[in-house]
Amino acid sequence: MGDEVEEIKLKTDIVELIGQYLPLKKTGANWKGLCPFHSEKTPSFMVNAERQIFRCFGCGESGDIYEFIMKMENLNFREALEMLAQRSGVALRSHSKYETRNSTCPPSGRREFETNPNFPNDQNNQFSNTKSQIYKINLASAKIFHKILYSKTGESALKYLKSRGLTDETIKTFQIGFAPQKPILSNYFVSKNISQDLLYKTGNPQKFFNRIMFPICDVLGNVLGFTGRALDNETQPKYYNTPETEVFKKSRILYGLMQAKNAIRETKIIILAEGQMDVVSAHQSGVKNIIASSGTAFTDDHLRIILRYTDNIVLAFDADEAGKKAALTVIQMALEKEMNIKVVVLPENVKDIGEVAVANPTLLKNIIQDAVYWLDWIINSKIDNGKSKIDIADKKLFLKQIALYLKWVKNPIEKSHWINYLSQKFGVSQESINALIDSNSKQTKLASLEIVYGMLEIFPALKSQHSLLYNRLNDSYNSQRDMIVMEVKNNYADLNEEIAQKEIEDILKRRKIDDLEKIKSDFARRISEAEQNNDREKVKELMLELHKKII
């Protein structure tokens, strides 16, 4: 193993690696940035390219590429080694156990209880032990669900998957399973002596009923949790995920990454779709570099994971309004990271990429090949193609809108490219487009939380609805209250309560700030439900969960 450790080190540039996590500036022989391991305003985090090490003079963290990744990604050495091996294209030979971990999710050859048959539940167990126990419970559950799918009980579920065009091989590759109406895991958990506490920490796979089960794996093949899709259309919600656990973090989960990683390395492109079925169907049709964010809000963490593999991203979201909106959000975030972004244009009357994949694999490859640059996609969605001539009024309105998007472009070359492109396409000067961008850019003067604060000040109804958040913001921004309110009014010409509400939600989502009021009322409802059912255990569980969330 020692050789591989060194080989990976030789092939990985620490400046480039760390540069994917945080901006670094060259200062003399070193590179400098804000430390990711402690909170600071002036950079004391140094990376030395010559010696291939990092050191923070603020908190004292230091080390090489492995230590950085272990700390940053919360991995043990072996996991960090595998991640960096994959990134640098070095094959790990010495541990044959790991070589078979690529083909299915979870790897079908792995025996779940080989090291720890009785799930000892020692309170002093280390975090990593809890983690590996969670993996084992999830792996065992995934296998049982998969087996059930091919039993009499799973008949209707299997029929559904086949009707969506999936083959047995694909179902096996993704270890898709079925959780029936009657509980099937409890006997198994009892026989293995698994405690309620540990099940709770796992997110309890027994909570899924009458759902098609998609195991969610990390790149190493560990089963982190599940997405369950309702079998009939009446059951709500249609998709149900494992709740947040120590290993299942929605903001970081990308479905299908494990099955996609080799293809991503070959093509240097990641296709991002919306749902599990899109990924599974496309994979079956031969497009394997495809992943999905599993219907949850896309976050910066997702992008950071994608950036470990490539900075070329192709968006293949659903054709509906929600899909278009989601695409715009990802475009904005990806531009901030200076990624290259294209968007797949779906044929008329097709609702998602999974549909194309099943019906016509050749067409799927063609539309991915023909994906257009993000700005062309926006232009096409805004211009009425049936119109033969674009008059001056159209140009003014249209370019004003486009300038809003150009504001997102961080890379100066890309920005200049698009300004030049628009100038030629619409027969206007580059200066005039620049002027439009500048007139829009005053909107960025306010930080996003200041915008939230200003909006809450303007609309008292929203203020009382978000009282906790408001109090928190008021502590920080009260002294600039009038200026902020004025700026918000200036920047949002047609501001009303509905728009403000929407904007606040978007900002909170982007900033990953939990809307405490929403969480509390949601929990209040669930707790009173459990009380009505006399389910004391559930009440206790919910209280605990709520407590954790709001502390």
Q: Which residues bind Zn ion (CB under 5 A)?
A: 35, 37-38, 56, 58-59
> CB of 341: closest distance to Zn ion in angstroms?
32
Residue that has been written with the tokens 């009021």 in this structure: 517
Cis peptide before 243 (omega within 30 of 0): no
Phi-psi group of 411: left, alpha or beta (phi > 0 → left; psi -120 to 50 → alpha; rest → beta):
beta
CB 458 within 8 A of CB 488: yes
Q: Are 34 and 40 in contact (CB under 8 A)?
A: yes
| 3-state SS assignment for residue 310 | coil
What is the C-alpha end-to-end distance of the chain, expressed in Å? 43
Question: Whole-number minimum distance, CB 62 to Zn ion, in Å?
Answer: 9
Q: Which is nearer to Zn ion, 39 or 187 (CB)?
A: 39
Beta bridge partners of 55: 46, 62
Residue nearer to Zn ion on the CB measure, 59 or 359: 59
Tokens of residue 418, six digits:
């698009």
User: Tokens for 4?
Assistant: 């591989």
Least distance from Zn ion to the Cβ atom of residue 42, Å: 12
Query: CB-wise, 56 or 403, nearer to Zn ion?
Result: 56
| Beta sheet of 62-63, edge-to-edge order | 25-27, 30-33, 45-48, 53-56, 62-63
Among candidates 13, 67, 24, which has minimal Cα distance to 46? 24
Neighbouring C-beta atoms of residue 281, cutoff 10 Å: 27
Of residues 39 and 163, the one with the C-beta less far from Zn ion:
39
Residues belonging to the chain = 551
Neighbours of 493 (CB within 10 A): 6
Minimum CB separation of residue 23 from Zn ion in Å reads 15
Half-sphere exposure of 383 (CA within 13 A, CB side): 23
**C-beta closer to Zn ion: residue 39 or 115:** 39
Q: Which is nearer to Zn ion, 18 or 279 (CB)?
A: 18
For residue 545, count other CB atoms closer than 10 A to its CB.
17
Question: In angstroms, what is the minimal distance from the CB of 65 to Zn ion?
Answer: 17
CB 217 within 8 A of CB 237: no
Dist. CA 332–CA 337, nearest whole Å: 9
Q: Is the peptide bond before 106 cis (omega within 30 degrees of 0)?
A: yes
Angle between helix 321-336 and helix 374-382 axes, rounded to 10 deg = 140
Closest CB to Zn ion among 54 and 405? Answer: 54
As measured in angstroms, the least distance from the Cβ of 516 to Zn ion is 29
**With respect to Zn ion, which residue has the nearer C-beta, 45 or 405?**
45
Q: Are 22 and 34 in contact (CB under 8 A)?
A: yes
Supply the Cα-derived Rg of the chain in whole angstroms: 25
Cβ 18 to Zn ion, closest distance in Å?
A: 13
In whole angstroms, how close is the CB of 69 to Zn ion at the nearest point? 16
Nearer Cβ to Zn ion (27/186): 27
* Residue 48: CB minimum distance to Zn ion, A: 15
| Beta pairing class for 30-33 and 239-241 | unpaired
Q: How far is the CB of 74 from Zn ion (least distance, A)?
A: 16
CB-nearer residue toward Zn ion: 37 or 200: 37
Chain mean position to CA 211:
23
Q: Both tokens of residue 128?
A: 């990593």
| CB of 59 vs Zn ion, minimal distance in Å | 3
Q: Which is nearer to Zn ion, 37 or 150 (CB)?
A: 37
